[in-house]
Amino acid sequence: MAENVKEKLATLRKEILRHNDLYYNNDSPEITDYQYDQLMLELKKLEKEHPEMVTADSPTQRVGGVAKRTAGILVRHDVPMLSLQDVFSKEDIDEFVDAILHDMPDCEFVVEEKIDGLSLALRYYNGVLKTAITRGDGIVEGEDVTANALNLRGVSSTLPEKLPYLEVRGEVYMTREAFEKVNKEQLENDKKLFANPRNCAAGTLRQLDSNVIKKRGLSIFAFNLQKAEGRLFTKHDETLRYFKEQGIPIIHDYVVCKTKQEVWQAIEAIEKRRNKLPYDIDGAVVKVNSLAQREILGATSKVPRWAVAYKYPPEEKDTKLLAIKLSVGRTGRITPTAIFEPVQLCGTVVERATLHNQDFIDALDIRVGDIIRVYKSGEIIPKIRCVLKTKRTVALQPFKIGNKCPVCGAPAIRDENTADVRCTNSSCPAQFEGRLVNFVGRGAMDIKGFGEKYIKKLIDEGYLHDIADIYYLREQRDELVEKGLIGKDKNTDKLLEKIEASKTNAPWRLLAGFGIPNIGKAAAKSLMAYFHTIDALAVADVDTIKQVDDIGDVSAKFVFEFFRGKENIGMLDKLKKAGMNMNEGETVTEVNDNVSDRTFVLTGTLPTMSRTEASAAIEKMGGRVVSSVSAKTDYVVVGENAGSKLVKAQRLGVKTLSEDEFKALLTE
C-alpha cells in the first residue's frame, strides 16, 4: 500500500512540475488552470494523508517559476513575491474567514479581481522608477525588465510624491482587444499564434526589444504594497487609494467586507461581471485589510496566511446543437464540427466546436437537436463537455459520418488502426485546395505571399488542376494581370518570382508538400536523407521504405501508394519538366566554418526570421538543427518567448545567440 502511494506521489509531482515548466518558463500550458488545480488538490490530499512522504522538492513546497536571463540580469527580491493559496468552494472561503475572525474579531477583508497575468514589482527611489523585477522564483530573485516596464500602460517613470523608497507589486496583463490584434498580426506574418493573453503578455515582457511592449499594448494593475519608507500605511485599501493618487492604475471595484457573508457576496458579484470585463480574470482574491494583522499572520514558505485566491470553475453554457457539418482536409480526412446556437464564453461568442471523429460522436451519443454543455479549453478553444440527455424530449437520430465524401460524393473509408474516415478520391476539390495550401506553406515549399485567397481564385478560374500547375503560371502572366487574380503587375511578378525561386528548394520540401498522410517535415527529411532523390523513393517498395528511421508500416504504405497513383505520376513528370530540384545532391551548400558540422537548437520566435528560414540557412551551410539542448549542442538561437531550452543552455554553458548574432555568424 505504501509503495502504491509513493509511486502515485512521484507520478503526480513529476506531472505537476512538467506543467509548471510549461506554464512559467515556456508560456505554453497544455492543460487548463482548472485541470492543473485538480492535480494540485489531489497531491495536497495525498500529502496530508501521508505527511511522512512530503518532500522538500514537492510542488506544494515550492513557488512555480524559475528566473530566466532572457530580458536582463537577475535581481534579488527585497520582499518575496509569493503565490496565493487557491481555494475552490464557498466552504473553503468560510473556513478561511472564520479562522481569522476567531483570533481577530475586528478584522476586515478586501475582495478584488484576480487578474490572469504575471506579477511585476516596481521599485521607486525618491519617486523615480529605478528597477522593475519579474516574479522569477518568487523567493530569491527575478529578472530585471526595467526598460520594458517603462513601456507598460500605467507605469510612470516618476511619481508626484518622492518617498525615499516604494515597492509596488502589480499584475501585467493584456486586454482581449490587444490580444486579438497581436494574434491577427501573427497570422498575417505567418507566425505562431499565442494561446491566450497571459502567455502573450509573459513572452512580450521578456522581449529584448522594449518597443514591442508598447506596440502590443501591455498594461498593469497595482494590487499590493510590498514595502514603503517615509510614509506609514495601516490598511490595504489605503495603499490602493494612494496608488491611484500617484497615477498608478489599481484593481477595479474592490470591496471591503467584515463578514463571511459579505465576502462571498463580493466574490459572486465579481463572477457575474466577469464576461463584461475587457480583460481576463480567473478568480477573486480575499485579503486581510490591516497590514499589522498581516504581519501577525505571517506566511508559509510558499503562501501568505492572510490571503487566498478563490478560483472560478471553468465557465460552461448549455445550448442547442443545430447541425453537424462535415469538412474534408488535404489528406481526405473528414472532420465533423458541431454547429450550435451562439453562446458567450470567457468574453467571446462561440458557435462551433470540433467533434473529432465517429468514435467521439458515438461516445458522447450526440445528436442534432440535443442540448449540449460547452466550455473553453484553456479559456481559448471551444469544446463540448457532455450531452444533457435528460432534456432529449423527442426521438433524435444518431449521427453517422457515412461512407460518402460530403464534397465530391466519392466512397469514404475508415483508416486501419485509426478512427479517421477519409475520402478516397484524390481529385476531390476540398482535398486539392488543402493540398495546395500545404504545398506553398512554410513547412513545405515556403512560397511567401501565396495565400489561401489566391489559391482559391486560381482554382475557381481554372488555372490550377494539380500541384505542378503552380510552376506553369508564368506562361499565363499577362492574363493573370489582366484579370487581377493576384493583383497588378508588381504583385503578380513578385509572386511569380518567388514561385520560380522555390524550384531550387531542397527535395524534402517538395516531398513534404505532396501532402502524403503522415509525411511531414521531419519524415520527408529522413526519407530524402536515405534515398537522396525523389526518383529513387518513387520506385522503392514498402519494405525498403520501412528501413528509414521513424517510418512505420502505415507511413511506408502511404508513400508507396502515392507514387503509384496515375495522377501523381503525371504530376511528377510535369514538375520535372518545369525544372524542379528532385536530387538532394543538387542542393548547393555554402562553406562556412562557423556553421559546418555545428549543432544548433532554435527556441522562441525570432523577430524577422521564421524557424524554417533559420533552419534552411543552417543546413545550407552544413550545420545541423536538432530539437533538444545537450552538452554537445554548439549554439542555441534565442527568440521571443524562449523557454526551458534557454534555461538548459545556460545551465550547461552552451553559447546562446540573438537573431542579430546568428545572422552575423552566418555571414562571417
Which DSSP category does 584 fall into?
G
Q: Is 404 an annotated catalytic residue?
A: no
* Cα dihedral 437/442/447/452 (nearest 10): 30
**Catalytic residue of the set 6, 68, 114, 663:** 114
Which has the closest alpha carbon to 311: 278, 279, 270? 270
Q: Which residues pair with 250 in a beta bridge?
A: 222
315 is an annotated ligand-binding site residue: no
The rounded distance, in Å, linking the Cα atoms of 90 and 263 is: 10
Q: Find out whether 408 is annotated in a ligand binding site.
A: yes
491, with CB counted inside 10 A (0-12, 13-18, 19+), is middle
Do residues 381 and 327 make contact, with C-beta atoms less than 8 angstroms apart?
no
Report the candidate in 77, 117, 329, 90 with the shortest Cα–Cα distance to residue 204: 117
- How far is it, in rounded angstroms, from Cα 107 to Cα 288? 7
Is 257 annotated as a binding-site member?
A: no
34 labeled binding residue:
yes
106, exposed or middle or buried, with CB in 10 Å at 0-12, 13-18, 19+? exposed
36 labelled ligand-binding: yes
Contact 255, 110 (CB under 8 A): yes
Query: Was 423 annotated as part of a binding site?
Result: yes
171 in a labelled binding site? yes
Which segments within 174-291 are labelled E, that is strand? 219-229, 255-257, 281-288
Query: Residue 121: beta bridge partners?
Result: 133, 169
The DSSP code sequence of 416-435 is TTSS-EEE--TT-HHHHHHH
440 half-sphere exposure, CB direction, 13 A CA radius: 27
The two counts, helices (H) then strands (E), for the chain are 24, 22
* 651/578 Cα distance (integer angstroms): 50
Check: CB of residue 292 under 8 Å from CB of residue 273.
no
The residue type found at 563 is F
311 labelled as ligand-binding? yes
| Size (the chain), residues | 668
User: 3-state SS of the chain: helix, strand, coil percent to 5?
Assistant: 40, 25, 35
106 is in an annotated binding site: no
Q: Is 287 annotated as a binding residue?
A: yes
Reduced to 3 states (helix: H, G, I; strand: E, B; else coil), residue 23 is helix
Q: What is the dihedral of CA 534, 536, 537, 539, to 10 degrees?
A: 120
CA distance 42 to 448: 49
DSSP letter at 477 equals H
Strands 165-173 and 219-229: antiparallel
Residues 6+ apart with CB under 8 A from 522: 550
Q: What angle do CA 288, 290, 296 make, to 5 degrees?
A: 85
Distances (CA, A) of 571 to 156, 566, 575, 604: 62, 9, 6, 37
Query: Contact at 8 Å (CB) between 244 and 179?
Result: no
DSSP state of 195: S
User: What is the rounded CA–CA span in Å between residue 486 and residue 82?
Assistant: 56
37 is annotated as contributing to ligand binding: yes
**Distance between CA atoms of 137 and 141, rounded to whole angstroms?**
6
DSSP string, 34-90: HHHHHHHHHHHHHHHH-GGG--TTSGGGS-S----SSSS-EEE-SS-----EEE-SH
Q: Determine if residue 107 is labeled as part of a ligand binding site.
A: no
Active site residues: 114
Q: Where is the binding site for Zn(2+), in residues?
A: 405, 408, 423, 428
| Known binding-site residue numbers for NAD(+) | 33-37, 83-84, 112, 135, 171, 287, 311
Annotated binding site: 33-37, 83-84, 112, 135, 171, 287, 311, 405, 408, 423, 428
